[in-house]
Protein backbone atom coordinates (compact mmCIF):
# COMPACT_ATOMS: atom_id res chain seq x y z
CA UNK A 1 0.00 0.00 0.00
CA UNK A 2 1.40 3.36 -1.02
CA UNK A 3 2.11 6.13 1.47
CA UNK A 4 1.48 9.81 0.95
CA UNK A 5 3.77 12.67 1.86
CA UNK A 6 2.41 14.79 4.71
CA UNK A 7 2.63 17.95 2.59
CA UNK A 8 1.41 16.38 -0.66
CA UNK A 9 1.84 18.60 -3.73
CA UNK A 10 -1.23 18.85 -5.98
CA UNK A 11 -1.61 20.10 -9.53
CA UNK A 12 -4.00 23.05 -9.71
CA UNK A 13 -5.88 21.27 -12.52
CA UNK A 14 -7.16 18.61 -10.11
CA UNK A 15 -10.30 19.87 -8.33
CA UNK A 16 -10.36 19.80 -4.52
CA UNK A 17 -13.43 17.57 -4.44
CA UNK A 18 -11.69 14.79 -6.42
CA UNK A 19 -8.43 14.71 -4.44
CA UNK A 20 -9.46 12.34 -1.66
CA UNK A 21 -10.92 9.89 -4.16
CA UNK A 22 -7.72 9.94 -6.22
CA UNK A 23 -5.62 9.32 -3.09
CA UNK A 24 -7.82 6.41 -2.05
CA UNK A 25 -7.76 4.86 -5.54
CA UNK A 26 -3.96 5.09 -5.65
CA UNK A 27 -3.65 3.65 -2.15
CA UNK A 28 -5.70 0.55 -2.95
CA UNK A 29 -4.47 0.20 -6.56
CA UNK A 30 -7.87 0.69 -8.19
CA UNK A 31 -8.35 2.00 -11.71
CA UNK A 32 -9.34 5.65 -11.91
CA UNK A 33 -8.85 8.39 -14.47
CA UNK A 34 -5.15 8.60 -15.36
CA UNK A 35 -3.00 11.16 -13.61
CA UNK A 36 0.72 11.51 -12.98
CA UNK A 37 2.31 10.63 -9.67
CA UNK A 38 5.62 11.92 -8.25
CA UNK A 39 7.45 9.55 -5.92
CA UNK A 40 10.77 9.57 -4.12
CA UNK A 41 13.38 7.59 -6.02
CA UNK A 42 14.95 4.72 -4.10
CA UNK A 43 18.33 5.16 -5.78
CA UNK A 44 20.54 8.19 -6.29
CA UNK A 45 18.03 10.13 -8.39
CA UNK A 46 15.68 12.56 -6.69
CA UNK A 47 12.12 11.98 -7.93
CA UNK A 48 10.28 9.71 -10.36
CA UNK A 49 7.22 10.59 -12.44
CA UNK A 50 4.80 7.75 -13.18
CA UNK A 51 1.50 7.51 -14.99
CA UNK A 52 -0.96 6.35 -12.33
CA UNK A 53 -1.99 3.34 -14.43
CA UNK A 54 1.48 1.89 -13.84
CA UNK A 55 0.52 1.46 -10.18
CA UNK A 56 -1.96 -1.25 -11.23
CA UNK A 57 0.96 -3.58 -12.03
CA UNK A 58 1.74 -6.28 -9.49
CA UNK A 59 5.27 -4.88 -8.87
CA UNK A 60 3.83 -1.66 -7.47
CA UNK A 61 1.25 -3.51 -5.39
CA UNK A 62 4.09 -5.41 -3.70
CA UNK A 63 6.58 -2.50 -3.51
CA UNK A 64 4.98 0.59 -2.06
CA UNK A 65 6.17 4.09 -2.91
CA UNK A 66 6.09 7.39 -1.06
CA UNK A 67 3.94 9.69 -3.18
CA UNK A 68 4.95 13.35 -2.89
CA UNK A 69 2.84 14.87 -5.67
CA UNK A 70 -0.10 14.23 -7.96
CA UNK A 71 -0.72 16.01 -11.27
CA UNK A 72 -3.41 15.88 -13.95
CA UNK A 73 -0.89 15.57 -16.78
CA UNK A 74 2.83 15.26 -17.43
CA UNK A 75 3.29 19.02 -17.80
CA UNK A 76 1.66 19.49 -14.40
CA UNK A 77 4.03 16.91 -12.90
CA UNK A 78 7.02 18.78 -14.31
CA UNK A 79 5.62 22.02 -12.83
CA UNK A 80 5.41 20.36 -9.42
CA UNK A 81 9.03 19.18 -9.68
CA UNK A 82 10.01 22.74 -10.62
CA UNK A 83 8.08 24.10 -7.64
CA UNK A 84 9.70 21.62 -5.24
CA UNK A 85 13.15 22.46 -6.63
CA UNK A 86 12.50 26.21 -6.30
CA UNK A 87 11.26 25.80 -2.71
CA UNK A 88 14.29 23.64 -1.90
CA UNK A 89 16.74 26.12 -3.38
CA UNK A 90 15.09 29.07 -1.64
CA UNK A 91 15.37 27.35 1.73
CA UNK A 92 18.63 25.35 1.50
CA UNK A 93 20.53 26.92 -1.42
CA UNK A 94 20.97 23.46 -3.00
CA UNK A 95 18.96 20.94 -5.02
CA UNK A 96 18.87 18.01 -2.60
CA UNK A 97 15.15 17.41 -2.95
CA UNK A 98 15.09 14.22 -0.89
CA UNK A 99 16.68 15.94 2.10
CA UNK A 100 14.41 18.97 1.71
CA UNK A 101 11.26 16.85 1.61
CA UNK A 102 12.40 14.79 4.60
CA UNK A 103 13.15 17.87 6.71
CA UNK A 104 10.15 20.00 5.71
CA UNK A 105 7.99 20.97 8.66
CA UNK A 106 5.73 23.69 7.27
CA-to-CA distance for 76 and 40, rounded, in angstroms? 17
For CA atoms 76, 73, 81, 65, the dihedral sign is positive
Confidence of residue 105 (pLDDT cuts 50, 70, 90): low
What is the pTM (predicted TM-score) of this model?
0.89
Give the pLDDT confidence score for residue 106 in this predicted structure: 59
pLDDT mean over 84-91: 93
> Where exactly are the structural domains of the chain?
3-103
At 40, phi and psi to the nearest 5? -70, 135
Amino acid sequence: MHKFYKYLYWDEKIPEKKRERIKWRLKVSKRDFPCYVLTLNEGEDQLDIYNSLVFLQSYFRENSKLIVGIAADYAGAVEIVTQIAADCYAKNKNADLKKYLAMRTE
